Structure 1
Amino acid sequence: MSEEALVKEKSNPDFQWYEDNVEIRGCDLSLPRIKAAYRELSALNRKEGERIVSATSKPDDMPDEEWEKKTAFWRDDAFRLTVSINGFDGETAYGETESIFDSKNLPAPIKSIYFTNLTAFSRNANGNEPPNHFSLTISFEKPPLFDPNPTVSEPTANNSKLVSHCQDVSYFRAIQTIVANKINSKKKWYSFIHAKFAYDVGLWFVAFPYALYWITIYCDHWLPSTGAHASFRVAFYIYGLGLSLFSYRALFGYLKWAFPVNILEENKDNATKHRILLGGIITSLIVGGIKSVVVNLF
């Protein structure tokens, strides 16, 4: 019998699908949490497999015993969630059960984790897709330390997402709920720095006013308007703002590198000392600014 029997014919011209693309950003994760999500998604997929196999008709010329073996094989093999755990050095661990998350041979540190119900079904259905399918990608990559990308207003690049394409709305909602509760529920407080326009907000409401204040203070101190070098004040402002913009961009890139989009506890990120350094830099800038305002304006 052809494996295409697993694929249901879509004879209804008003056939409806539900699609979604949910971003996974700002999450503080661990392998046990991801394993728990895998377990629940796997149980949901097995239940869906039971429904599909039960609805598949037995060919008239196939003995009952052979049909039972065939359907038992489909239940076991066609409705698994395949998992790929990738390391930064190119190493990949592959599995089709939740035990993969307990393996001692996982890449370290882990770059990304991907699992889907497409692979197992397709190999049993001549490459066809199941009526309800999804894939989940979680990436722990960091942005470059100094990002030359001109589109600084865009969110920090990260391909972590849940992609679902379903016929059954209850299956569709169940996937969303599991991912929301197990993956997307524990957020880091600093996730806003990776959002769209975070760079611009920081520039116009924090960095630019701060830089203008200090440039004005030093300009009046070094180049007073009644002094012999007053004609250099415009050049000082232009150069000062340019240098300030470069410094802000470098500091913002360093901040996003030290506090990445998603964090995996087992990776034991060594950026702690960089976070402490950044904390010291930002604190000194704030304290210095407050002291200067108090002295010069009040």
Structure 2
Amino acid sequence: MPIGSGARFVRANLNSRPGNNIWAQMPGIDDEKIILKPTAPLVNINYSSAAWTGRNRCSATGGLMYQVPMPSNYVIPNTNKNSSAVFLMRDGRTLVQTQPVARCTAGGPATSFAKFSNVDLYGSGITGAHGGSGLSAIGGSIRLGELRPGTTTGPRHALKVNVYAKEALFRCTTRSACSRWPATTSDSYAVGWYGSATGNGNTAMKMGALLAIPGSTSITSLGLETTPAKQLAWTLQNYGAYIVDDTYAPGFDISAEDGPDGSKRTEFKRDWGFDMNQKVQGNTAWMRDIQRLMRALSVVDNNSPTSIGGGGTPRQPLAPAIAP
């Protein structure tokens, strides 16, 4: 859904040097394992308690969680990243989502930690395997084929970002006050962590907040140096980006596809000649542009189920309906 003419904006006040740390990710890339191969062989996903403890995710510690279609040669190495995953099932419409997934040996089983309710590809597209918000692991990801040379516009859909919740989000005192629609939850540690570094009193900045560049802002006035940043600015002004997770360490992350069809990181570097993921310390044009975009962001404070994007006249035509 595009941002609407009725959108009411509240400044996000994001720190473009999170934690005042020169090693902050700017941007980091939250790689989402998007596996839309319904005719691939069925693979067991077994339970692993490793999660984000730093233990090796390659070996299961429990029994079967799911059987999902996955190409035999597709490997997901052990990391300590979010590694959210989505699988399209045999019926061509059921989406299974889980986090964090690993498959360390081609042809072998996979492991994961958290189960989420299945969703319908033709449904609302809201919920899924971002554990910090309960939001989707497929909707909002920058996909292969997007953010490429030859166009002045960015992706024609809302994006997803992770923020350093310790300073960026409202210092909530109850779990119910830590998130807002469309998020269905917040991190289990939200109370006592969100906003604790800054005493953040901005009640608009909660898990699930829709960030956008107000329509009154001239994109040219931002002084952007790189073409992909100008494309992102177009998307952020016309569709925005939802806060879906906490970076936990200082940084600002963008969700992007990484699956059997390829990695958005690889495509991006091939297209533009520089890495999609960078750090503040690098002081590159792309990094500086991400900081400029962060400073330009506000919250669509009246985003709701009855006024998605703030309501009113959409800034862009609605996407055509997808028929099953």
Instruction: Please give the TM-score of this superposition, normalised by the length of structure 2.
Output: 0.23
More strand by share: 2
Q: Which has the larger radius of gyration?
A: 1
TM-score (norm. length: structure 1)? 0.24
Comparing both structures, which one devotes a greater share of its residues to helix? Answer: 1
